[in-house]
């Protein structure tokens, strides 16, 4: 009996020792993660991303492909609204593909090295490695890190990252604001290291052919925003409408005519003199469904809505005034590509935007596409974080 008791005690002690040896602390896991990310050749993952930056949560399917040293393919799809955008990085640069519009936008950028993405493994691991004040918990199946969020959206303060204990694959990510409210959540369905990719996965033309346009059978329109010279008609319209947004309410009538006339110069076929004399606004197609931001900064009110023609397409200009003054232009481009100006890629969660600062006019412009709409947000005093919040909140349709 005594021998059996001693045997049981020895077995229990050995079990406790082995259990203790199998438990890793934060420092050990961090060292492992550094090795994993440095030796990583490729990976492929998919999951669901939920954005809670607007009044209603938006859910997107996200597919991520990475091949060392710098090939990326990100596919974002909102199945409910039939929205798909693809971000590529290959030897030719960084591209944002909008298959529904049959458009390809090219950028000169070192994305994603200069900014983080919540669904990229490198970004998640790097945020763990650099945060010396990281918090660490080991649950039944995952190691959980609570670290600072390092994104271009200043309202995102912290993030929790769940990594599988056995292989350090990402399981879930929650990004919170300064009030600890979860604003972005990613849940991975699959994730595999060492994926072998066909070369076409990262080729622009192959991706456009694999996802045919629903609006045009023509070849994709290539827009090169890094071309020299910024005297395009839509840039002139943006500058003029932004000046209008900064003016007093007493000048609204003349501002409206000026904004419309400015866009008429970009190719509207109407009589400019008659429009100015009668105050007439260009005809906007009946099926144009304008969208409105659900977020407005404190101390800001909507000034007015103006029907315009922008880049040869009917659209709507909304102007805001108050502590910040800014202008939001939206159109539904068809066959004509929007001419963008050089700038920095900005991750809006559901798509990529392009942020540009004009040192001469002090204007800052954010361009992006969503649901077949082209958007341009312009201001001379709106902070970048506020611009991103406004862009992320443009969801619901409005009637005029």
Region for 210 from its dihedrals, namely left if φ exceeds 0, alpha if ψ lies in -120 to 50, beta otherwise? alpha
pLDDT at 329: 95
| Average pLDDT score over residue span 76-101 | 84
Q: Which two tokens stand for residue 28?
A: 């050990």
Q: Helices 26-39 and 121-130 meet at what angle, rounded to 10?
A: 140
| Average pLDDT score over residue span 100-112 | 77
pLDDT at 22: 52
pLDDT at 350: 78
Most confidently predicted of 22-36, 245-259, 317-331, 362-376: 317-331
Please state, in angstroms and rounded to a whole number, the distance separating the CA atoms of residues 235 and 260: 14
Give phi and psi for 395, each to the nearest 5.
Answer: -135, -60
pLDDT at 211: 59
Q: What percent of the chain has pLDDT over 70?
A: 69
3-state secondary structure of 353: strand
pLDDT at 357: 82
- Is residue 263 within 8 Å of residue 309, measured between CB atoms? yes
pLDDT at 5: 52
Laid out side by side, the sheet with 42-51 consists of: 135-138, 142-148, 156-164, 170-177, 182-193, 42-51, 58-67, 71-78, 83-90, 93-98, 103-107, 221-223
DSSP annotation of 236: H
Please state, in angstroms and rounded to a whole number, the distance separating the CA atoms of residues 368 and 201: 24
Comparing CA positions, the residue from 34, 51, 177 lying closest to residue 119 is 51
pLDDT at 72: 96
Please state, in angstroms and rounded to a whole number, the distance separating the CA atoms of residues 208 and 213: 8
Query: Residue 231's pLDDT band (boundaries 50, 70, 90)?
Result: very low
State the Cα torsion 200-202-205-210 to the nearest 10°.
Answer: 70
Whether the pLDDT of residue 318 is over 60: the answer is yes
- Is residue 161 within 8 Å of residue 144, measured between CB atoms? yes
Comparing CA positions, the residue from 178, 159, 82, 84 lying closest to residue 120 is 159
Burial, 332: exposed, middle or buried (Cβ in 10 Å; 0-12, 13-18, 19+)? Answer: buried
Share the mean pLDDT of the chain: 76
DSSP annotation of 102: T
Sign of torsion over alpha carbons 339, 217, 104, 61 = positive
pLDDT at 274: 31
Please state, in angstroms and rounded to a whole number, the distance separating the CA atoms of residues 13 and 20: 11
């Amino acid at each position: 009996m005594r021998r059996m008791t001693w045997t049981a005690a020895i077995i229990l002690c050995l079990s406790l020792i082995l259990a203790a040896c199998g438990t890793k602390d934060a420092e050990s896991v961090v060292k492992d993660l550094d090795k994993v990310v440095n030796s990583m050749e490729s990976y492929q993952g998919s999951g669901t991303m939920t954005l809670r930056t607007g009044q209603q949560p938006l859910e997107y399917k996200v597919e991520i492909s990475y091949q060392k040293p710098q090939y990326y393919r990100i596919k974002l799809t909102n199945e409910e609204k039939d929205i798909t955008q693809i971000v590529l990085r290959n030897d030719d640069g960084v591209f944002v593909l909008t298959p529904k519009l049959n458009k390809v936008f090219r950028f000169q950028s070192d994305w994603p090295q200069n900014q983080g993405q919540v669904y990229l493994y490198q970004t998640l691991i790097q945020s763990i490695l650099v945060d010396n004040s990281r918090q660490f918990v080991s649950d039944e199946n995952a190691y959980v890190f609570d670290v600072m969020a390092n994104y271009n959206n200043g309202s995102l303060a912290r993030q929790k990252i769940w990594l599988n204990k056995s292989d350090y694959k990402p399981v879930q990510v929650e990004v919170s604001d300064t009030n600890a409210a979860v604003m972005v959540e990613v849940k991975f369905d699959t994730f595999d290291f060492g994926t072998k990719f066909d070369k076409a996965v990262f080729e622009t033309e192959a991706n456009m052919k694999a996802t045919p346009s629903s609006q045009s059978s023509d070849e994709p329109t290539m827009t090169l925003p890094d071309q020299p010279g910024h005297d395009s008609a839509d840039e002139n319209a943006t500058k003029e409408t932004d000046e209008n947004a900064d003016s007093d309410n007493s000048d609204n009538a003349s501002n409206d005519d000026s904004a419309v006339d400015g866009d008429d110069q970009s190719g509207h076929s109407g009589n400019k003199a008659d429009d100015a004399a009668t105050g007439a606004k260009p005809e906007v197609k009946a099926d144009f469904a304008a969208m409105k931001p659900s977020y407005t900064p404190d101390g800001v009110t909507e000034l007015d809505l103006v029907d315009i023609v922008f880049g040869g397409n009917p659209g709507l200009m909304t102007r805001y005034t108050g502590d910040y003054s800014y202008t939001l232009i939206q159109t539904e481009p068809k066959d004509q590509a929007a001419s963008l100006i050089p700038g920095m890629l900005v991750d809006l969660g559901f798509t990529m935007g392009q942020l540009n600062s004009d040192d001469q006019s002090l204007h800052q412009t954010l361009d992006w596409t969503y649901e077949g709409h082209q958007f341009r947000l312009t201001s001379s005093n709106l902070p970048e974080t506020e611009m991103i919040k406004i862009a992320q909140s443009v969801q619901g349709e409005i009637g005029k």
